[in-house]
Structure 1
């Protein structure tokens, strides 16, 4: 599939923002976070900005962005519509929790738990937009929703480590980030290993029904010039190039941030903040590469009619 930069930014930014909101809700409900209003101001403002920026960026991929509001009406059958509805619903517990936290320096536990549920459902709806598509086997995979969750929660935990270290150096949130990033790395390794060894279900022979006489191959291109399907559905990336990008994603997006988060626990606040900032930057770069690969390595079955051997 053709990697759309707006969608890559949307899934990366909103995933991290929802991940941060999840940890604010969960740990806040358990009274593990400081009630300091400035902590709430910085944490909630950043999380909501990330979520909002991602949602706005998602409209750039639409042919008619001014009609994006119509997507909300199809929530009974469309995961994209459900994601849009849940993204708006999540603003309500997030806003209520932030207002009470900032104005009264109190944390409403039940609102925090509701916020956790809403963020998880929103991330899952985003993942299911892709995992529900039958023509793209590499997206319709049981680890696709798990990967989206682990990456979002890992990025959110890194940002939470920064805010808690700045306002309360004793909170061990870096350990949460360390664990979530390692789990995320394991999920991506399992996903890549599985798609590399998958057996094709559809081939040019099964797509055309011409497999009985012998091997089916493309004799002539169906179009004299590139069309929409070829631009959007037939992106190709070499195995060697993909392998290199996978290693970059794994190291920059998961391993380096995890080690830097662990290192920050043994440093004073000033150096720890610098180390955590480097971890966040590294994670952001790695996640963008991982998300680009997620789209670039996908194979749509329509490519079987344009010369692909299998999908």
Structure 2
């Protein structure tokens, strides 16, 4: 698949934003993170800013971005439409939670309820995003048990690392949050390795023979289907060399997982401001690494329509 940067940025930014929003909604609403105007303002601005930036960037992949609103009408059958509905609906409790927790300095009663609703909306939206890809049967690398959990794990991972950075930056670091960010990063690393191992061993059952129903021999094209590049070739026919894939996988492991684990471990045993500095570096490295990981997610996927062009 062709890795459009707008979609790569969208999945990375919204995953981190919804992960952070969910954690703020639960921990802030239930009083585990005490109300503080500047911390709350910066945290909510960061979460909602990432979400909005990601959603806006996703329209850059549309041929007619001004018609993006029409996607909301297909929520009965389209995961893309459900994602749009869920993302917009989540802003309502998130906004109310921000008013109560940030502006009014409360963390109980209706504020706690809206915080939990915002967290539920964030999780639901991430699930719909994951299902957009997990539901695509023609792409075997996505249509597996690994895709949806990956979106949830990575959202929790990047969100917890951002939350730890936020708390460390305001000198109110929490050992529980830091530990959670470290464990979430290790979980994300393990899940990514398991996904790559599954995809590398994957045997795609569809061939030119099975697609045409001509099973008694080897089916091949005697001429090119098209004389010029078309949409299918541009979007579905992208291929990445094995050596480049291996190199980018190593970069992903270093930036998205290994470096954050080391930096978070340093933060765990270091006083402020060393812990804050290490936490900031961990968040930056991880977000860059996740951009590479998302690029690979698209680049390594193979649509069965490419059998027509082989």
- Alignment TM class, shorter chain as reference: over 0.9
**Paired residues of 1:131 and 1:141 also in contact (CA < 8 A):** yes
- Report the equivalent of 2:138: 135
- In structure 1, runs of 5+ residues without a counterpart are none
SS in 2 for 1:154: helix
Q: Aligned runs of 1:195-274 on 2, under 5 Å?
A: 195-212=199-216, 214-274=217-277
Q: Partners of 1:131 and 1:252 in 2: how far apart?
A: 25
| More displaced stretch, 118-127 vs 25-34 | 25-34
1:113-141 CA distance string (max 9 Å, x none): 11221110000001111111111111111
SS in 2 for 1:293: helix
Q: CA deviation at 1:306?
A: 0.3
Which residue, 261, 276, 280 being the options, matches 1:277? 280
- In structure 2, runs of 5+ residues without a counterpart are none
**Paired residues of 1:165 and 1:273 also in contact (CA < 8 A):** yes
- Report the equivalent of 2:158: 155
- Report the equivalent of 2:18: 18
Using structure 2 for the length normalisation, give the TM-score. 0.96
Q: Partners of 1:210 and 1:77 in 2: how far apart?
A: 33
Q: Partners of 2:214 and 2:243 in 1: how far apart?
A: 32
Q: In the comparison of the two structures, how many residue pairs are matched?
A: 306
- Report the equivalent of 1:61: 61
SS in 1 for 2:273: helix
- Report the equivalent of 2:105: 105
- Report the equivalent of 2:81: 81
Q: CA deviation at 1:216?
A: 2.1
Q: Structure 1 runs of 4+ off > 6 angstroms? A: none
Q: Partners of 2:294 and 2:304 in 1: how far apart?
A: 21
**Paired residues of 2:80 and 2:128 also in contact (CA < 8 A):** yes
**Paired residues of 2:20 and 2:156 also in contact (CA < 8 A):** yes
Q: Partners of 1:277 and 1:153 in 2: how far apart?
A: 17
Which residue, 109, 122, 126 being the options, matches 2:125? 122
Q: Aligned runs of 1:295-310 on 2, under 5 Å?
A: 295-307=298-310
1:184-208 CA distance string (max 9 Å, x none): 1111111111111112210111112
Q: CA deviation at 1:168?
A: 4.3
| More displaced stretch, 118-127 vs 26-35 | 26-35
| More displaced stretch, 200-209 vs 14-23 | 200-209
Q: Partners of 2:273 and 2:173 in 1: how far apart?
A: 14
Q: Partners of 1:266 and 1:181 in 2: how far apart?
A: 18
Q: CA deviation at 1:100?
A: 0.8
- Report the equivalent of 1:2: 2
Q: CA deviation at 1:170?
A: 4.3
SS in 2 for 1:95: helix
CA RMSD of aligned residues (A): 1.2
Q: Partners of 1:211 and 1:226 in 2: how far apart?
A: 29
**Paired residues of 1:169 and 1:269 also in contact (CA < 8 A):** no
**Paired residues of 2:171 and 2:272 also in contact (CA < 8 A):** no
Q: CA deviation at 1:112?
A: 1.8
**Paired residues of 2:260 and 2:285 also in contact (CA < 8 A):** yes
